[in-house]
Amino acid sequence: MIELVPLCTISVELLPSLSVGTGPAGNRSVGGIASATVTGERLNAVLAGPAAADWLVRAGAIGVIDARLTLRTDDDALIYMTYGGRLDMSDPSNGIKAYTAPVFETGDPRYAWLNTVQAVGKGTLAIGAGGAGQLEYEICEVR
């Protein structure tokens, strides 16, 4: 039986994106991540250094997410986090729904348990004026 254990919430501020245009896979945009805050019982961190995300919009208002960022925990460990997923862009007036599958990597022994975690997340993306955005995720560990 699959069990979902709450891991953290993540708040991400996106910089305005750059549209690469429509290619063979769809309409791709690339953007930087201005800030990220991770809050949870076992994991608290902020963005450490530059990070980027891109998303591809396919036919049917389906978005494909690819994000990579480095986090610095509140006790100074570095954690590399990547996630892919899907965006449901069918009704942006109600917020764009985001579904992700984060994984983590670290060499810090205090957080070595994260190296084996497969997580799943659900959230909402809001795009503001000028193309900047705000993402809010609820992330759970799959057990």
Q: 11-43 pLDDT, tens per residue?
A: 999 999 888 999 898 899 888 899 999 999 999
Kindly report which listed range (35-44, 89-98, 102-111) carries the lowest average pLDDT score.
89-98
CA–CA separation, 39 and 138 (whole Å) = 10
Would you kindly state where each structural domain of the chain is located, as residue ranges? 4-142
Lookup: tokens for 104: 């983590």
Check pLDDT > 90 for residue 98.
yes
Check if the beta carbon of residue 132 is closer than 8 Å to that of residue 13. yes
Taking residue 72's Cβ as centre, other Cβ atoms within 10 Å add up to: 15
CA–CA separation, 61 and 16 (whole Å) = 20
Q: Whole-model pTM?
A: 0.92
**Mean of all residue pLDDT scores within the chain:** 94
Of 3.40.190.10, 2.40.160.20, 3.50.50.60, 3.40.50.720, which CATH number belongs to 4-142?
Answer: 2.40.160.20
Mean pLDDT of 80-103: 93
